Chains A and B, each alone.
Chain A
Amino acid sequence: MSNQNGFVHHHKTKSEVSVTEDDSAINKKLPKELLLRIFSFLDVVSLCRCARVSKYWNVLALDGSNWQRVDLFEFQRDVVGPVVENISKRCGGFLKSLSLLGCQSITDAALKTFAQSCRNIEELNLNNCKEITDTTCESLGHHGHKLVSLDISSCPQVTNQSLKALGDGCPSLHVLNISWCTKITNDGLEALSKGCLDLHTFIGKGLSQVTDAGIGHLAKHCQKLKKLDLQGCSSITDEALHRSITDEALHRVGQHCNQLLFICISNCARLTDASLVSLGQGCPNIRTLEAACCSHFTDNGFQALARNCNKLEKMDLEECIQITDATLNYLANFCPNISALTLSHCELITDEGIRHIGSGACATEQLRILELDNCPLITDASLEHLTGCQNLERIELYDCQLITKAAIRRLRTRLPNIKVHAYFAPVTPPPAVGSGRQRYCKCCVIL
């Protein structure tokens, strides 16, 4: 592959390079394509050094084939505009993937040069490039029609204008991350989703101004959605009032997005069981549900979900404080593939619920991770119920004050590979007037 982007030093072209004068075996014996194959294993630093070795190696090192994927994460401290422009001109149409993650001083101007020079870009990571504004996405919309994956999370100056530009100019967009771009509103999502019909991954954490209407647009137009992350889509200014996403949004998702595999609604605290019903009805393929801090969810909602979503594998239900053993019973009956289950702070869970899980279809081979920290009613009996879970890798038991060390030891005998995370305060001496069994708690106070 030759360097086709017209990047030529004034003092050398390929025809001027005389290989025959070179004494080195490597240059005499190996043809260009094998040298390029060796170079294909080199990192950016090594390539830049090779470019300084000789005229011939300069041409080889700068060959476009070596610059299809560039990751500048290691250099983020030093990466400034001219560097990006230099790389853009060097790689030209060969560059397909670029990561500027954390390069906080990159500006729109550098990215405009980049967009103009590297029109075949497919994957671009601009996470935390805090200086960029809508101008960057406008440049991408003009020149980057092959863009497939874009991450502009934590770029606080981005507005709806960016989403409009992407919707207009990047029809092949499959993956978009606009987490923490807090200026985005429903209009932006509408413009985006109408243009990017093939979107299958949308990550939008912390979009505090987006409401049900915006999610509705997304669901209606992007029916191929497989991964949807709406964590914390609630206003951070007024927790009591403006928790923006409600059941209506999830109703729309259930209506349109039947290919959904992953959904995160953690910290969308206004949602109720109706959302779980919508998901159960419309999204039977869900594998992962993250619903931490959805404190209105009850057993009824999970019954509806579990009945229909039999492929569930991972569930984060931390602080779904209303759920009881009944939910665990439903999961045990309907979801044979559960491999990771987080029930932290689900304070109503008892040993009975764990007995259901331990005897459910997922128990023997599927269950790998179980988080029961801060479930105060759990006793040693729960650990007994789990002894048949041959593939259990990790269990969290912090602040399960009724669990004893002996029970954990017994569990470890049955499951030798398991990691048990628990904390036992060091022994403090008994009071002078001793009576009854000592109990330990995290603050080292004798109860």
Chain B
Amino acid sequence: MLKLSETKKRNIKSSEMPRSYACDKAVRMPMIKLQSLEGEVFEIDVEIARQSVTIKTMLEDLGVEDDDEEPVPLPNVNAAILRKVIAWCTYHKDDPPPPEDDENKEKRTDDICSWDAEFLKVDQGTLFELILAANYLDIKGLLDVTCKTVANMIKGKSPEEIRKTFNIKNDFTPAEEEQVRKENEWCEEK
């Protein structure tokens, strides 16, 4: 019978272990450890983690094995955000892979599912952090839905309302503002 220390060194996957040993362990999915900025470690199902193309690439190209004791460091993502990203990926784990970005396809923002809408009822700071994390981890579905959410916060608002929503300073002089208004008013309903 193989000793536990020997299996660790050789990084044998649980499915490859001799039968007598495998029966001693509870049957479980391959897991992977992710470490946030602060050092907190999250252990999640590899299949869920693979929604992140960044992590998926690491697993494939760099030979990072599941069941590795070493966590994958994600210094750009804090624990609170990482927890939310994991929650999103867990809910969406059975989604079909998102289609390739088609430049010619009309981009909609009215197709956010109700779970996502609820999930994204957060303050702006958290929303922007989620966008950054989704971008860094390359999770297209999450990136799209968070960007659409912000786009929906812009649609239908006047320039002043947009400024108020995002606390943006109006740095045009009155003359500049008038010129910019003239250049862009053609699409407004008369």
Chain A interface residues (CB < 8 Å from chain B): 9, 11-12, 21-27, 29-30, 34, 37-46, 48-55, 57-58, 68-69, 75, 78-79, 82-83, 86, 96-97
The interface residues of chain B lying within 8 Å CB-to-CB of A43 are 155
Proximity bits, B165-190, A CB within 8 Å = 1, else 0: 01111111100110111011111101
Q: How far is the CB of A38 from chain B (nearest CB, A)?
A: 5
The interface residues of chain A lying within 8 Å CB-to-CB of B5 are none
Q: How far is the CB of B163 from chain A (nearest CB, A)?
A: 6
Complex Cα spacing A61 to B35, Å? 37
The interface residues of chain B lying within 8 Å CB-to-CB of A40 are 107, 147
The interface residues of chain A lying within 8 Å CB-to-CB of B177 are 52
Contact among A26, A29, A52, A78 for B184, CB-based, below 8 A: A52
The interface residues of chain A lying within 8 Å CB-to-CB of B188 are 45, 48
Q: How far is the CB of A175 from chain B (nearest CB, A)?
A: 14
B31 within 8 A of A: no
Known contacts A25-B125, A43-B155, A45-B188, A54 near B168 by CB under 8 Å: yes
**Is B184 a contact partner of A48 (Cβ separation < 8 A)?**
yes
23 pairs, A vs B, C-beta closer than 8 Å: A9-B179, A11-B176, A21-B171, A22-B168, A22-B169, A23-B168, A24-B167, A26-B124, A26-B166, A34-B135, A38-B150, A41-B147, A42-B154, A45-B187, A48-B185, A49-B162, A50-B154, A52-B172, A52-B180, A53-B168, A54-B170, A54-B172, A75-B186
Give the interface size bracket for B toward A. Answer: 35 or more
B132 within 8 A of A: yes
Complex Cα spacing A54 to B170, Å? 5
Complex Cα spacing A34 to B132, Å? 8
Q: How far is the CB of A340 from chain B (nearest CB, A)?
A: 27
**Is B103 a contact partner of A68 (Cβ separation < 8 A)?**
yes
The interface residues of chain A lying within 8 Å CB-to-CB of B166 are 24-27
Complex Cα spacing A68 to B108, Å? 16
B49 within 8 A of A: no
Q: How far is the CB of B149 from chain A (nearest CB, A)?
A: 9
Chain B interface residues (CB < 8 Å from chain A): 103-104, 107-109, 124-125, 128-129, 131-132, 135, 143, 147-148, 150-151, 154-159, 162-163, 166-173, 176-177, 179-181, 183-188, 190
Q: How far is the CB of A90 from chain B (nearest CB, A)?
A: 9
**Is B169 a contact partner of A21 (Cβ separation < 8 A)?**
yes
- Tell me the interface secondary structure of chain B in the complex: helix
Query: Which residue of B has the minimal Cβ distance to A42?
Result: B151
The interface residues of chain B lying within 8 Å CB-to-CB of A30 are 128, 131-132
**Is B187 a contact partner of A29 (Cβ separation < 8 A)?**
no
The 7 A-B pairs at the shortest CB distance, nearest first, are namely A41-B151, A48-B184, A52-B159, A29-B128, A24-B167, A24-B168, A38-B147
Complex Cα spacing A243 to B184, Å? 50
Q: How far is the CB of A53 from chain B (nearest CB, A)?
A: 5
Q: How far is the CB of A358 from chain B (nearest CB, A)?
A: 38
Query: Which residue of B has the minimal Cβ distance to A12?
Result: B176
Q: How far is the CB of B80 from chain A (nearest CB, A)?
A: 15
The interface residues of chain B lying within 8 Å CB-to-CB of A82 are 186
Known contacts A23-B167, A25-B124, A38 near B183 by CB under 8 Å: no
**Is A53 a contact partner of B176 (Cβ separation < 8 A)?**
no
Complex Cα spacing A96 to B186, Å? 21
Known contacts A49-B159, A57-B168, A97 near B107 by CB under 8 Å: no
